[in-house]
Chain A
Amino acid sequence: MATIQDKIAALCPEAQFEQADVLQVTVPEAKWHDLAVALRHDADLAFDYLITIVGMDWQESMGCIYYMMSTSRGNETLAVKVIAAGTRKSPYLPSVFDVWAVATLYEREVYDFFGIIFVNNPDMRRLFLSIDWVGYPLRKDYDTDPKLNPISTESERQSDFTDTWTLEKGKLVKNEVRVFQPEDFVVNIGPQHPSTHGVLRFRTCIDGETIKKIDVYMGYIHRGIEKLMEGLTYPQCLPFLDRMDYFSAQNYHSGMCRLVERAAGIKISRRAEVIRVMMDELSRIASHCLFMGTFCMDLGATSMLFYTLRVREQILDIMEKTCGARMTFNYPCIGGVMQDLHPDFQKDVKALLEIIPANIKEYQKLFTGNVIAKERMVGVGLLSKEDAISYGVTGPSGRASGWSCDLRKIRPYSIYPELDFEEVLATEGDSMARFNVRLHEIEQSAKILEQLVDNIPEGEYCVKVPKVIKLPAGHWFEMTEGCRGVLGIYLESDGGTTPYRVKLAPPCLPLAGVVDHITEGMKIADLITIGGSLDYIIPDMDR
């Protein structure tokens, strides 16, 4: 740690350091862009993966915390805190879109919620809220009066323009830039479209069948989870995690629980840990099965859906017996899990493990070996390892590009260090690789389940926790491997029973952000394949 601290101190003498769970550096706004370039490109620092940008309103000031990771140097993490310049009416920060590609999207999100303008960002529109929204909802002085933002009975105003801001002689200047040219043929794919897997909208500029540019338009299912959480106690916050990526409900939920337990200093029983890991892995198998089914359906192979749903049904039956629900389980809780396992659990999991190998063989025979499927997937939607890191594409999609980003391996949590499994990696970075990585991850998850199913220790499933959970003042950052990638959770507490700020950094937002980059020059049909192979979940990106 010391070397990074020295190095940064040498680059930026004004930097202040604070050792929380992640080393946090506070730098002045004027030095931030230069430091960002150095952090990214200096061989001794090489923080090439921007995990998230947390917008913050500390009332006396506003700013951002940038969480980043160095993939080449042992996955070390660093947080950089920057206070915005300018007045509260128009605070601004330099954009780092030229350092990390994914920052373009993250900065738009911060602008949407906090009104912090990122100077030089090429696309400074709102990301989730409608174009005419009044106010910035995550600011602490936000006016929630419904009269300001009435429910519109008319169509949302659309604009062909985006804003960029430049700083001229210390003054912010706004410029309008066209998203599409007037002569472009723009097809609107979504929000109501069978293959966007939800209410996502691509404004697709095409030339014949070839895609020239895609403008991703999201926010149709934005529910303001982060804002809602600020008014709820910690246990009340948890069910929202199930409603983000509803296929990784268990994983997200236990991630949030782990964060609160760490912050509150609660140690849970080993039985609860094992149950959580088993549920996570069951979810992963179910999620990947569903991915394969829907992906093949996107490609027109409808029958495959039923073959994969067969396995998923069996998992949902297991979940239903124990959790009482087939979706949005709300099963892990602070201190352990909600209720003990169903007596049939072990028997059912064993039955599931028995059928998985045969099913995987069948999928490969039916689909992966098919010449049309190969033609559609091999070499389509190429994403290099560098781009995957720069765009923050984690999870199976990132691993298909050769980026070892499985948190269960690189920053192991819970009981994962004791388990014997392999991180599935591919190097091709095309749709086929993304498909195969998921197929093999099912095998690995099954391997984990095999190790645990007969070794569920006795003990209490939930430890005693205080009735009212209060966290000490401070901030924490936790990362969890969901089924689609890394979920980062930032939690700041002011010592009360409700969080001061929660930031959820979902894996699906960068997945949607990378679509434009990898579809350029491809065919319309490839957009569907690529979108399907990235496997984004819209409620996860919109929150």
Chain B
Amino acid sequence: MFDFSVVTTWINQFLLDTCGMPQWLTTTIECVLIGVCLLLAYALLALFYIIYERKICAYIQCRVGPVRVGPWGLLQVFADMFKILIKELIHLQNIDKFLFALAPYLVIIASMLAFAVLPWGNGLQIIDFNIGIFFLIAVSSIGVLGILLAGWSSSNKFTLIGAMRSGAQMVSYELSIGLSILTMVCLAGTMSVGGIVSEQADLWFIFKGHIPAVIAFIVYLIAATAETNRGPFDLPEAESELTAGYHTEYSGIHFGFFYLAEYLNLFIVSGVASLMFLGGWMPLHIPGWEGFNHVMDYIPSIVWFLGKCFLLSYVIIWFKWTFPRIRIDNMLALEWKYLLPINLVNLVLMVLVIAFNLHF
């Protein structure tokens, strides 16, 4: 299997030895390079997700979706992007201008930071350190701060209700996400993202951990849908109740940031799910089937990772276009009365499975 660290090491060596640059300059240049790649990947993924969702939703609703601009309407998203870039930012009166401007950046920074630890492919990871998954959970919860600020600073009752709903929702569902990830960390025995992936070299965790892993996977999928504010948990921006929820007052690219962050969060939660349950970039290996495993290795690791992400995203998008929106009290009841106890029991179950070595 091709290891991308060959490329990264080569760039590093090239800058250090061939060009004879000092260490600090090399690191700076590498950081800038990574930043540019990250932004590019970020923008392209968001655009892909927009057309992806529009197409899926169109087919669910017996429509064809965008078809006019470009082949299969693929250029429609670029047109939309330019439209949103050139739109005017409307200045509102009686708002907290600083917080109002800060909020979209907080949201987008949170999702961008989470990109740092995702295992894109074999050796293709920005940073791999021993508390990787912990870092990911931590930074992704910064997003709620941005949403709360957006709702509060807009000086609008609808946004305030949206923000409060969002706060209640994200704080609640963060528990489920954390606990289901913790369950899998127990199985992996490490918090390092690279470590978790290599632990799944012989078998993906969802198969390895059988019953508790499947339970954790389902809980994670529900909580992740809620965490990304997507239907049926899109209460913070319930358009039929709160017009657009917390981002009602935003216009132009500031609104675009919220919009982008929503899609990127969808990618991130799918990425984390594929990391924790479906082996990250690791191809499907089945112990004993050497030939099969060898064939699987021919598919590049980045294809594996993106494929898993898009598949999981498809499931979450499918939720949105099928289910009606849940009500706030039912949503909180679902978390606190069902998911949380299930999760706690599941954690104990997983520990027992590991202690008695009952996993595959």
Contact = CB atoms under 8 A, between A and B. Distances in A.
Interface of A: 185, 187-188, 193-195, 209, 296-303, 305-307, 310, 366-367, 370, 372-373, 375-376, 523-528
B328 A209 contact: yes
A185 B157 contact: yes
B326 A298 contact: no
A300 B240 contact: yes
B332 to A, nearest CB: 10
Contacts of A372: 232, 323-326, 330
21 contacts: A185-B157, A188-B157, A194-B239, A209-B329, A299-B240, A300-B240, A300-B323, A301-B322, A301-B324, A302-B61, A303-B61, A307-B61, A310-B62, A366-B322, A372-B330, A376-B324, A376-B325, A376-B326, A376-B330, A524-B241, A526-B327
Helix, strand, loop or mixed for chain A's interface?
Answer: helix
Contacts of B60: 303
Nearest to B60: A303
B27 interface: no
Contacts of B157: 185, 187-188
A525 B243 CA distance: 12
Contacts of B165: 209
Contacts of A296: 324
Contacts of B234: 300
A300 B157 CA distance: 21
Contacts of A376: 324-327, 330
A194 B245 CA distance: 12
Contacts of B322: 301, 303, 366
B238 A525 contact: yes
Given A194-B240, A194-B243, A301-B323, 8 more contacts: A188-B157, A209-B328, A300-B234, A300-B325, A307-B61, A372-B232, A375-B326, A525-B328
Nearest to A209: B328
Contact of B240 (A188, A298, A303, A370): A298
Given A300-B240, A301-B323, A375-B327, A187 B61 contact: no
Contacts of A523: 327-329
B320 to A, nearest CB: 9
A290 B24 CA distance: 66
B32 to A, nearest CB: 43
B68 interface: no
Given A194-B239, A301-B323, A307 B62 contact: yes
Contact of B325 (A188, A299, A306, A307): A299
B231 interface: yes
Interface in B224-268: 231-232, 234-235, 238-241, 243
B232 A528 contact: no
B135 interface: no
Interface of B: 57, 60-63, 157-158, 161, 165, 231-232, 234-235, 238-241, 243, 321-330
A378 B240 CA distance: 19
A303 B321 contact: yes
A327 B341 CA distance: 54
Nearest to B326: A372
Contact of A300 (B158, B161, B238, B328): B238
Contacts of A299: 240, 324-325
A523 B325 CA distance: 14
B229 to A, nearest CB: 12
A524 B240 CA distance: 11
B155 to A, nearest CB: 14
A154 to B, nearest CB: 18
A370 B63 contact: no
Given A300-B234, A300-B238, A303-B61, A524 B325 contact: no
Contacts of A366: 322
B240 A297 contact: yes
Contacts of B239: 194
Given A209-B161, A300-B234, A195 B327 contact: no
A525 B324 contact: no
Contacts of B232: 300, 372
B238 A306 contact: no
A300 B243 contact: no
Contacts of A375: 326-327, 330
Contacts of B240: 194-195, 297-300, 528
Given A300-B234, A300-B325, A376-B327, A525 B241 contact: yes
Listed from nearest, the 4 A-B pairs whose CB atoms lie closest are: A300-B325, A299-B324, A301-B324, A306-B61
B62 A306 contact: yes
B241 A373 contact: no
Nearest to A196: B240
A307 B61 CA distance: 7
Contacts of B326: 372, 375-376
Contacts of A525: 235, 238, 241, 325, 327-328
A213 B137 CA distance: 41
Contact of A195 (B61, B241, B323, B330): B241
B238 A302 contact: no
Nearest to B242: A524
A207 to B, nearest CB: 12
Nearest to A299: B324
Given A299-B325, A376-B324, A525-B328, A193 B61 contact: no
B125 to A, nearest CB: 37
A203 to B, nearest CB: 12
Contacts of B324: 296, 299-301, 367, 370, 372-373, 376
Contacts of A306: 61-63
Contacts of A298: 240
Nearest to B156: A187
A185 B62 CA distance: 42
Contacts of B238: 300, 525
Contact of A302 (B241, B243, B321): B321
Contacts of B323: 300-301, 370, 372
B53 to A, nearest CB: 12
A527 B241 CA distance: 9
Nearest to B322: A303
Nearest to A206: B161
B159 to A, nearest CB: 11
